[in-house]
Amino acid sequence: MRRILAVSGGAAVGAAAVLAGHALAPATGTTARPDRAETSGLTPGATASSAASPTAGRPRLADGTATGPLIETFYGPVQVRITVVAGTMTEIVEVKLPFEHLHSRWIRANLVPQLRQRVLTAQSADVDVVSGATYTGQGYLASLQGALDQLS
């Protein structure tokens, strides 16, 4: 009985310590901390079209398609292609995403769509990287910026 109390008490303390550690860690180092196994494994060509939110006032983008530069990230190369219709970015295709790591498919299913949505909403590469996909996300945005520059 006493031992069960010891084990469960310990478990509570251990869990609290880890949660506290995570709560405190961003306060000290928010910027370049890759939060999660970050990676992405899109089989090349996986596309994601999305209804563009027609945010007015920003664009000056020429219509057409542009492929951004290939950006080497910690986890592998990242490259995106964008399509602009009527001055609005309507589609982003991930031409290349790293896929060496086990979480590639998870990131592909979860984080890349989020990032894509943020970019389409903001109509710019100036968005926050999705937590958990820091390296891939930075590469993604860099390649995207290159593509945007081509169409400006």
Positions touching another protein (CB under 8 A) are 2-3, 6-19, 21-22, 33-38, 99-103, 105-106, 108-110, 134
∠ Cα 96 69 106 (to 5°): 25
Computed over its alpha carbons, how large is the radius of gyration of the chain? 20
Q: Using the minimum distance from each CB to another protein, give the nearer residue, 67 or 114.
A: 114
Q: Considering the complex, what minimum distance in angstroms separates the CB of residue 81 from another protein?
A: 22
Q: Considering the complex, what minimum distance in angstroms separates the CB of residue 134 from another protein?
A: 8
Q: Using the minimum distance from each CB to another protein, give the nearer residue, 103 or 147.
A: 103
Which residues, listed in sequence order, are joined to residue 85 by a DSSP beta bridge? 88
Q: Using the minimum distance from each CB to another protein, give the nearer residue, 1 or 56.
A: 1
Half-sphere exposure of 110 (CA within 13 A, CB side): 13
Q: Considering the complex, what minimum distance in angstroms separates the CB of residue 130 from another protein?
A: 12
Q: Considering the complex, what minimum distance in angstroms separates the CB of residue 20 from another protein?
A: 9
Q: Report residue 4 as tokens.
A: 């069960």
Residue pair 90/48 in contact (Cβ under 8 Å)? The answer is no
